[in-house]
Amino acid sequence: MKVAVLIRVYDRVEDLKYNLQIIRDTWTALQYHVIVISNGKHKGYEIPLDSQKHIDKLVVLEENAGHRKGNSQLLMEGAKYIPDDCDFTLILEADTWVYTDAIIKKYTNLLSMSTKAVWASADWYDKYYALATDFALIKTDYIKQNPRIFDFELFPECHITNFLRDTKVGFLWITENMPVHVPSYVKYKYPYVPNIKEGRFYVFPKSRTVTHHVEYLKRGIEKKKEYFNVVADTDYFPDRKVSNKAWQRFKMKFWIGLSQCMLKRSWYSKKTYKEIPQE
């Protein structure tokens, strides 16, 4: 089975460097075609040569559509370069590091067995049907037939589920990457949620994933490497060795699990599809 990996990047070129190394070193169960699409060149964010050697197709856009449309721009442009012989496409943020491709193999197999589902990713919101776009697996044929799935500006996660609904197909939740957020009423510091305003977890030990924005971490990329070593249960980054990894993973799982015991809207109200204003 062959998977296209569509990585989008604006300014996180250091994250991208390590991400590509991780893919090269630990994703061995399937075949991969790595596409990197960048729109940060006009601001000086160029892809270094040592990263380019791990990329099968590099696409650099001269203009950036802006923060609200930039993510859509990257996905829509990158989708043009997905090879026809790739059964699945993984869309991936440059700062989303995943140790081994076990989670990819699991969900490509589940999607292959499904006649209805074409998409797999985490549940993003508690109130609305919304699917994460930082790590998502999609049947390539569906993208080829429906390129406008990536044509969004506001609430991309909600746009995805609305689009799937309107085209009468289904999705799978990648439960290993859930929950993504603590409840919105949590206004105080919470473990493993470095930016409480955003309310997001950035470690997912069940899928061996870290997604940190390094500006939220003391010691930045070095701390992110330590978190990655913990979820990977190995010192992949030998310069950031971590002791007591099992204890660290237990704490991650405990605090993430505890958040699921907090009162949530979904306990008393069904999810709805968000109406997205057209601009």
Return d(Cα 228, Cα 209) in angstroms, integer: 7
Q: Which residues of the chain fall short of a pLDDT of 50?
A: none
Look at the block and give the residue holding tokens 């923060």.
Answer: 67
Answer for the pair 70, 10: CB distance below 8 angstroms, yes or no: yes
Burial of 151 (0-12, 13-18, 19+ CB in 10 A): middle
- What pLDDT sits at residue 269? 86
For residue 125, give the 3-state DSSP assignment: coil
pLDDT for the residue numbered 277: 81
pLDDT for the residue numbered 113: 98
Residue 193, judged by CB atoms within 10 A of its CB (0-12, 13-18, 19+), counts as buried
Q: Prior bond to 179 cis, omega within 30?
A: yes
Contact 248, 191 (CB under 8 A): no
Residue 65 has what pLDDT?
Answer: 65
**pLDDT tens figures, 141-150:** 999 999 999 9
Tokens (6 digits) for 201: 């977890």
Exposed/middle/buried for residue 182 (C-beta within 10 Å: 0-12, 13-18, 19+): buried
Domains (range + CATH), the chain: 2-175 (3.90.550.10), 180-259 (no CATH)
Q: Tell me, what's the pLDDT at 62? A: 82
pLDDT of residue 56: 97
Give 111's DSSP letter: H
